[in-house]
């Protein structure tokens, strides 16, 4: 059983790395972005609510996000662990997650912090916008999301840092090289991969 969080600025590769890590440990990736996008595509009540927020480059309110994550972590496939991607995004959400996990007598095992310079993130996001045709990767939206990350999400690393569970990983380089750096850090914590 392993409970992980992957954190990094937009364009840091955390989605791609998260999938690799989750597969290696045999746990689901719980990505708030994916859950929200799926709801938007399906036209659910939640999807309609979040579409306007996402299109503006803003973040979904904490209570709504936390409720979605609690529901997802309560599903059977997450009973033996998970990898969170995109949550918690701020200190308020850290408290929500702490309360939820404490209620299950659990806590996070490690926080993987992908470190990527701002100009590298922007370059990757521009490429993604072209490749995937994503409306949420426009110039203004990218700048807004990076500013929100720096002001709201980066501080959670301070909270988790005091718990001694943060592994800062250089996120620049070949995909496999970055994956190897992550696995080396998790191996050093004694976290055993299933594959």
- In the set 104, 127, 134, 163, the catalytic residue is 134
Model-level pTM?
0.86
- Express as a percent the part of the chain with pLDDT over 70: 97
Question: Is 128 a residue of the active site?
Answer: yes
* Catalytic (active site) residue 70: no
- Residue 27, φ and ψ in degrees, nearest 5: -125, 160
- Does residue 23 have a pLDDT over 70? yes
Arithmetic mean of pLDDT, 125-138? 77
Q: What is the mean pLDDT of residues 32-59?
A: 84
Residue 137 is predicted with a pLDDT of 67
pLDDT tens digits, 65-120: 998 898 889 889 999 999 999 899 899 999 999 999 999 999 999 999 999 998 88
Q: Quote the pLDDT of residue 143.
A: 84
Q: Encode 84-132 in three state secondary structure.
A: EECCCCCHHHHHHHHHHHHHCCCCCCEEEEEECCHHHHHHHHHHHHHHH
- Of the candidates 14, 20, 124, 181, the residue annotated as catalytic is 14
Tokens representing 99?
């309360």
Out of 20, 72, 89, 181, pick the active-site residue: 89
Confidence bin at 136 (pLDDT 50/70/90)? low
Please give the domain boundaries of the chain with CATH numbers for all domains: 2-185 (3.40.50.300)
- Told to judge if 145 belongs to the known catalytic residues of this protein, a careful annotator would answer yes
pLDDT at position 90 is: 92
Beta bridge partners of 31: 85
Higher pLDDT, 168 or 42: 168
Q: Residue 15: which of 86, 89, 65, 68 has the closest Cα?
A: 86
């Amino acid at each position: 059983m392993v409970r992980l969080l992957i954190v990094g600025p937009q364009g840091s590769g955390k989605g791609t790395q998260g999938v690799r890590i989750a597969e290696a440990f045999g746990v689901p990736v719980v990505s708030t972005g994916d859950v929200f996008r799926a709801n938007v595509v399906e036209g659910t009540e939640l999807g309609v609510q979040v579409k306007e927020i996402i299109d503006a480059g803003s973040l979904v309110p904490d209570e709504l996000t936390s409720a979605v994550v609690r529901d997802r972590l309560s599903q059977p496939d997450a009973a033996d662990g998970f990898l969170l991607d995109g949550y918690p995004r701020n200190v308020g959400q850290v408290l929500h997650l702490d309360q939820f996990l404490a209620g299950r007598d659990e806590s996070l095992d490690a926080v993987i912090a992908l470190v990527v310079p701002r100009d590298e993130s922007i370059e990757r996001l521009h490429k993604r916008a072209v490749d995937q045709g994503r409306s949420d990767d426009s110039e203004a939206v990218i700048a807004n999301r990076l500013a929100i990350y720096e002001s709201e999400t980066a501080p959670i690393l301070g909270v988790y840092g005091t718990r001694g569970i943060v592994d800062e990983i250089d996120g620049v380089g070949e995909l496999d090289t970055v994956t190897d750096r992550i696995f080396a850090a998790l191996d050093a914590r004694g976290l055993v991969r299933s594959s």
